[in-house]
């Protein structure tokens, strides 16, 4: 039995930070499509350049490309305990594709969908205070009293930057897309979904997520 914990929520809801924490605490491989895309962009391939243009405009990578990245992820990673996703799936098509993908796999999968819910006005300020490590993609918040003192990444020493797709215009655009896609997804997953109040502190949200995963 492999645990598949899907963390979904609007950009800035904390799913990136939480999936990093949960992956370490529960020994789960982190599935971040954002990381997969950035890896592709950094390779400088034609695909990567196309994706780079899309995301800097606030658009999302198309589903076919996403499934390709997903297949590559499962081929390239050794998964023992399970995975925790960072914002995947993003829409109903991806959710259906993921289910198809799992039903064709010989291993049985315990699916857990955690929805980090937060109002849009809370998101803007939070996203603009976010910094990402250029080397390992760890996310830090300048609103956090401990993390605001960091000059470099506390994990690997890499430079911390504001991502070029983190600005208010892009945030609002991404959030609009998110709102249109979240409801059909929540319906699709039905009683597998647990809603978590993402306006709570980082530690409290982690605690709630861990409690959900303990209940297996
Ligand atoms: Zn780092």
Structure-token match 């609103």, residue found:
143
Burial class (CB in 10 A: 0-12, 13-18, 19+), 31: buried
pLDDT value for 216: 53
Q: Mean per-residue pLDDT for 24-45?
A: 86
Tokens of 141: 């918040």
Q: Which of 74, 87, 83 is nearest to 110 (CA)?
A: 83
Q: Are 128 and 163 in contact (CB under 8 A)?
A: no
Does the structure show a pLDDT above 90 at 7? Answer: yes
Does the structure show a pLDDT above 90 at 117? Answer: yes
Ligand 1 centroid – CA 39 distance (Å) = 14
Ligand 1 centroid – CA 136 distance (Å) = 4
Share of the chain above pLDDT 90, in %: 36
Burial class (CB in 10 A: 0-12, 13-18, 19+), 9: buried
Share of the chain above pLDDT 70, in %: 97
Does the structure show a pLDDT above 60 at 139? Answer: yes
Q: What values do phi and psi take at 12, rounded to 5?
A: 100, 0
Between the two ends of the chain, the Cα-to-Cα distance in Å is: 11
Does the structure show a pLDDT above 70 at 155? Answer: yes
Top mean-pLDDT range of 13-22, 28-37, 142-151: 13-22
Q: What band does 106 get if pLDDT is binned at 50, 70 and 90?
A: confident
Q: Mean per-residue pLDDT for 192-203?
A: 94
Q: What band does 39 get if pLDDT is binned at 50, 70 and 90?
A: confident
Tell me the whole-structure pTM to 2 decimals: 0.74
pLDDT value for 175: 84
- Greater pLDDT, 108 or 5: 5
Q: Which residues have C-beta under 5 Å from ligand 1, the single-atom ion? A: 133, 135-136, 138, 153, 155-156, 158
Sequence-distant contacts of 188-195: CB under 8 A, at least 24 apart: 188/92, 188/95, 188/96, 189/95, 189/111, 189/113, 192/111, 192/112, 192/113, 193/113, 193/114, 193/115, 194/112, 194/113, 194/114, 194/115, 195/115, 195/117
Question: How many Cα atoms are found within 13 Å in the side-chain-facing hemisphere of 77?
Answer: 18
Ligand 1 centroid – CA 1 distance (Å) = 32
Ligand 1 centroid – CA 125 distance (Å) = 23
Ligand 1 centroid – CA 121 distance (Å) = 29
Ligand 1 centroid – CA 138 distance (Å) = 6
- Greater pLDDT, 100 or 206: 206
Ligand 1 centroid – CA 153 distance (Å) = 5
Ligand 1 centroid – CA 159 distance (Å) = 7
Q: What band does 58 get if pLDDT is binned at 50, 70 and 90?
A: low
pLDDT value for 6: 96
Ligand 1 centroid – CA 25 distance (Å) = 18
Ligand 1 centroid – CA 33 distance (Å) = 18
pLDDT digits (tens, 9 = 90+) for 62-102: 777 777 787 788 888 888 889 999 888 888 988 988 888 78
Task: For the chain, list the domains and their CATH numbers.
Answer: 2-119+167-214 (3.40.50.300)
Ligand 1 centroid – CA 84 distance (Å) = 19
* Mean pLDDT, the chain, whole residue set: 87
């Amino acid at each position: 039995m492999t645990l598949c914990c899907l963390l979904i929520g609007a950009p800035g809801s904390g799913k990136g930070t939480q999936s990093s924490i949960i992956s370490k605490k529960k020994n789960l491989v982190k599935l971040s499509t954002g990381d997969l895309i950035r890896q592709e962009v950094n390779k400088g391939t034609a695909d990567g350049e196309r994706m780079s243009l899309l995301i800097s405009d606030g658009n999302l990578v198309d589903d076919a490309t996403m499934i390709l990245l997903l297949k590559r992820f499962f081929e390239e990673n050794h998964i023992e305990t399970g995975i925790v996703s960072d914002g995947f799936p993003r829409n109903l098509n991806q959710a259906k594709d993921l289910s198809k993908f799992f039903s064709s796999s010989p291993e049985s999968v315990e699916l857990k969908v955690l929805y980090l819910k937060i109002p849009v006005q809370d998101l803007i300020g939070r996203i603009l205070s976010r910094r990402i490590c250029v080397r390992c993609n760890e996310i830090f918040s300048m609103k956090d009293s401990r993390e605001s003192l960091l000059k470099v990444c506390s994990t690997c020493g890499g430079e911390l930057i504001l991502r070029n797709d983190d600005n208010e215009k892009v945030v609002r655009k991404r959030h609009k897309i998110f709102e249109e896609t979240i409801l059909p997804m929540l319906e699709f997953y039905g009683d597998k979904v647990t809603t978590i109040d993402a306006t709570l502190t980082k530690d409290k949200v982690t605690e709630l997520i861990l409690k959900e995963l303990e209940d297996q």
